[in-house]
Amino acid sequence: MNKTLIVYGTRYGAAAETAENIAQILRMEGFHVKVANAKEEKIRDIADYQLVIVGSGIQIHKWTGEAEKFLKDFQKELRDKKLALFVCCGSAQPLAEKEEEKIKAIQKARRRYLEEKAAKYGLKPVALGLFSGVYNFNKMPWWSRKVMQPLKMQLKAAGFKETNLGIYDTRDLQAIQNWTKELART
């Protein structure tokens, strides 16, 4: 049985929910999966895991500190593991009007948040997942809500509806499922 560890860092919950979605799919594929919030659970050893998945939410172009610390602390061990990285960020679902601009934004996000992060720690992941996120205006500090107010209009114009009051979930659950099933086959 493949033992898998999913470690994530989250600010507003999108990376946590995505980690749980990934875990559920892997379990259906026969994997034994442990999911750990890097902020709440200190992982001391990864020797027993054949697959390690590390994910983070992105805010102001940064991974969460806890997920980044996990990569830093275990970089040597992760080089010898089957590794996958994922992020949840708005750049994965750009609101640009022109298709060409959307493609460039996605490529830039993949490079910045996944490829460069792996290179920083000398890691060679077998899979990189770039997933869109959740905008939860209820959990944002007041100054962030004020700055992000124009985004609400853009989300509505792009066809996204509030899933709950003040919450816009832009994730593509089918894309997460497809990525995870492909990862299970590698």
State the Cα–Cα distance between residues 14 and 140, nearest whole angstrom.
Answer: 13
Confidence of residue 148 (pLDDT cuts 50, 70, 90): confident
State the Cα–Cα distance between residues 124 and 42, nearest whole angstrom.
Answer: 23
- Give the mean pLDDT of the chain: 91
The model's pLDDT over 34-50, given as tens digits with 9 standing for 90+, comes to: 999 999 999 999 999 99
Confidence of residue 96 (pLDDT cuts 50, 70, 90): low
Q: What percent of the chain has pLDDT over 90?
A: 63
pLDDT number for residue 182: 97
pTM value is 0.90
Choose among 134, 126, 127, 4: nearest CA to 57.
134
113 and 58 Cβ atoms separated by less than 8 Å:
yes
Task: Print the SS3 string covering 2-35.
Answer: CEEEEEEECCCCHHHHHHHHHHHHHHHCCCEEEE
Q: What percent of the chain has pLDDT over 70?
A: 96
Q: Across 81-90, 128-137, 142-151, 166-175, which has the greatest mean pLDDT?
A: 81-90
Confidence of residue 99 (pLDDT cuts 50, 70, 90): confident
The model's pLDDT over 53-93, given as tens digits with 9 standing for 90+, comes to: 999 999 888 999 999 999 999 999 999 999 999 999 877 66
Confidence of residue 95 (pLDDT cuts 50, 70, 90): low
Q: Could you give all domains of the chain from N- to C-terminal order, each with its CATH number? A: 3-133+171-185 (3.40.50.360), 135-169 (no CATH)
Mean pLDDT of the 6-22 span: 95
State the Cα–Cα distance between residues 109 and 103, nearest whole angstrom.
Answer: 10
